[in-house]
Amino acid sequence: MTRHFLTLLDLEAEELAALLDRAAVLRAERGAPGARPLAGKSIVILLEKASTRTRLSFEVGVHELGGLPLTLISKDTQLGRGEPIADTARMLSGYAHGVVFRTFGHDRVEELARHATIPVINGLSERYHPCQLLADLATIRAEHADLRRVRVAWIGDGNNMAHSWILAAARTGLSLRLASPERYAPAADVVGLARSLGADVEVVTDPREAVAGAHVVTTDVWSSMGHEAENAERARAFRDYRVDAALMARAAPGAMFLHCLPAHRGEEVAAEVIDGPASRVWLEAEYRLHAQKALLEALFGAQ
């Protein structure tokens, strides 16, 4: 059966832990001559939304593992002119060895995976952004070896990143508190799924309650891609959900700040935090490369 990576639940807890260990090794060994498990293989990066980090980290990562990355911007393809996803999946399976897909509804990633005979990696859907969590967890692991002892506070929109953190809690044992305005709370079925797997996840509305004692404070844009028309309404709803120095002061001493980027200083995060000593966002962005190389090795290395 073809192995896909659509959500963090596609990795068992032990596989995820091994992948995070491998990401740290790949970071330490970067530049040294290594195995090239993707030699002779082509990976398509198919984008229906903008991307800087996801595109670059996969392009560089595939290249460093010896493969050929091919980025397709959907609007320049027949998919962008209405060619069915199923046909795209069948066709890509004949050319390439894997595909990274960034899209709108999560059903679109699932449909690509259903019809592809090559591994599909979710490069972000409206529901989940699992590749980002690999990097985020690897960044935390650089300071906290045991994720089961880590408390994470998510502040803001109950979006694809929030949902991915919720599944991360299920797969790693970290404790998660999310603070969102009621209307923008994470989806109840995602919370329920994680809890059914034993995750320690709590949803509140007060950011101060969420950050109390947290080792990691993280947030994301107030309007995700595809929600730009709601900017004004969301800016009002999230007014009290900015991560600033006063909020960080309520977290555990030495707490780190994470953000998947791109960030909007003065909106979801104050410049004093993202550009201050608690911020690990550049290491986090760098870990996209190492963590995805570890993922690519796991999916394609043994083929």
Is residue 125 close enough to count as binding ligand NVA by CB under 6 A? no
Residue with tokens 């699992």: 130
201's CB contacts (< 8 A; 6+ apart) are 166, 169, 176, 177, 178, 191, 194, 195
- In the complex with ligand NVA, which residue's Cβ is closer, 118 or 217? 217
Q: Cα separations (Å) of 40 from 17, 89, 91, 251?
A: 28, 20, 18, 48
Q: Name the minimum Å distance from CB 285 to ligand CP.
A: 7
**Contact at 8 Å (CB) between 156 and 237?**
no
- Distances 139 to 21, 24, 90, 133, 272 between C-alpha atoms, Å: 11, 9, 36, 10, 20
160 binds, among ligand CP, ligand NVA, none (CB under 5 to 8 A by kind): ligand NVA
Helices (H) and strands (E) in the chain, counts: 12, 9
- Active-site residue, 102 included: yes
The neighbour count for residue 68, using CB atoms within 10 Å, is: 16
Residue 221 touches which of ligand NVA, ligand CP, none (CB < 5 to 8 A by kind)?
A: ligand NVA
State residue 38 phi and psi, 5-degree precision.
-100, 10
Q: Output 132 or 175, the one with its CB closest to ligand CP.
A: 132
Which positions from 103 through 132 interact with ligand CP, judged by CB under 6 A? 124, 132
* Residues 131-160, interacting with ligand NVA (CB under 6 A): 159-160
Binding track, positions 234-273, relative to ligand NVA; x by CB under 6 A? --------------------------x-------------
Burial status of residue 163 (CB atoms within 10 A of its CB: 0-12, 13-18, 19 or more): buried
The one of ligand CP, ligand NVA, none whose footprint includes residue 224, by CB under 5 to 8 A per kind, is ligand NVA
Residue 29: what residue type?
E
131 is catalytic: no
Q: How far is the CB of 126 from ligand NVA (least distance, A)?
A: 7
φ, ψ at 112 (rounded to 5°):
-60, -45
Q: How far is the CB of 261 from ligand CP (least distance, A)?
A: 5
Partner from ligand NVA, ligand CP, none contacting 103, C-beta within 5 to 8 A by type? none
Interacting residue ranges for ligand NVA, rule: CB under 6 A: 124, 129, 159-161, 220-221, 224-225, 260
Where along the sequence are the contacts to ligand CP (CB under 6 A)? 51-54, 124, 132, 260-261
